Amino acid sequence: MLTTRQISSGYTWVNVIEPTSSELKSLVDDYGATLEILGYAVDRNERARVETDLDKNIFLIIFDALTNNFDNNGQTEPISFLTIGNVIITFTHNSTSYMQEIFENNINHIKENDLITHQIFDAILETLYTLTNMYLDAITQINFQRQSIQNQFKNRLNRTGIDSMLQLETSIIYLLTSAKANTSLLLSMNRMQNLQMDPEQHERLEDVIVESQQAQEMAELCSDIIDRVSSSYSNVLDNNLNHTMKFLTVFSIVLAVPNIVFGFYGQNVPLPFGKASWGWEFTILLSFGLIGIVYLIANWSDFFKK
């Protein structure tokens, strides 16, 4: 879907969401975009980076943003800003379409100050700053969920909690990977000689870089904590399972002892005290004696402590 808005007499904004082939062709015909650049802009698997075509005055930024249902799937997807002369084209998917409102608010703020032509790049920087801050909020939320799961573990340790912790670990890995890619993208922009920015824009870009690096560091720390915590509790759960299996093993042996004793005395073969009037008491005492021997052997060998 294409939505076109005339920002000023000299600038046009085209917002693109899940474009069709015919809509991509219209971007080529109407604004001079190339199919190669458009392919980068709409690819869901494209890494965060910068592409330029100086001959055609094309500048493309691909940035990893959180999806609007990040809490459910814990994923990020690329969004793109494409400038061709006095035309700016934004590309999102349905899961990242919220970016349109953020960018529009920044455009409106710039328009109020009548700085459209010179500082349209400010709207992009402000949008990147907002999207980067969303990483910090998401990481904080994941930390809160991790602490909540740990508090539940104090009362009861179960496999469901471990699975929830692993889901958090998956989400933080998505965040960490995307934060690293975004930081690399922003540093590349800061080093570009052909990217014309005034001192204020350079300073704002530095702010975005700092926020992105902070998000990356927080994600790394959070990932490390979740990995260590989940591994520790998983080991505890496995040890509990091992103790349970050991108990069941000894218990099954104990239950087998009376069956063996009673089975022998149930055969038509001569056995000690088999015909005595108190023979059945003897079999019970013998069973208890053998059970005691099994317990002593297990205890002396530290079977339950290993």
CB-CB neighbours of 247 under 10 Å? 12
Q: Would you state the torsion angle of the CA atoms of residues 68, 217, 144, 175, taken in this order, to the nearest 10 degrees? A: 30
What pLDDT is recorded for position 184?
94
pLDDT digits (tens, 9 = 90+) for 163-209: 888 888 888 998 999 999 999 999 998 888 777 777 888 888 999 99
Return the bridge partners of 58, or none: 53, 84
For residue 301, with 0-12 CB atoms within 10 Å meaning exposed, 13-18 middle and 19 or more buried, which class applies?
exposed
The whole-number pLDDT of residue 164 equals 83
Reported pTM: 0.76
What is the band of 214 on the pLDDT scale with cuts at 50, 70, 90? very high
Phi, psi of 85 (to 5 degrees): 65, -120
Segment holding 61, helix H or strand E: strand 58-66
10 Å Cβ neighbour count for 133? 15
Residues 6+ away with beta carbon under 8 Å from 108: none
85 φ/ψ sector (left φ>0, alpha ψ -120 to 50, else beta): left
Q: How far is CA 37 from CA 19, 79, 124, in A?
A: 14, 13, 18
> What are the sequence ranges of the domains in the chain?
2-238, 239-300
Residue 119 has pLDDT above 70, yes or no: no
Rounded Cα–Cα distance for residues 233 and 169 (Å): 14
pLDDT (average), residues 206-224: 93
Q: At what angle do helices 35-42 and 21-31 cross, to 10 degrees?
A: 130
Residues near 187 by beta carbon (within 8 Å), at least 6 away in sequence: 209
pLDDT tier at 133, thresholds 50, 70, 90:
very high
| 2-238 CATH | 3.30.460.20
Percent residues over pLDDT 90 in the chain: 20
CA dist., res. 41 & res. 152, Å (int): 44
- Using one digit for the tens of pLDDT, what is the confidence trace for 71-118? 656 688 999 999 888 888 999 998 888 998 898 888 887 665 554 545
Q: Is residue 88 within a helix (H) or strand (E), and if so which, with residue range?
A: strand 87-92
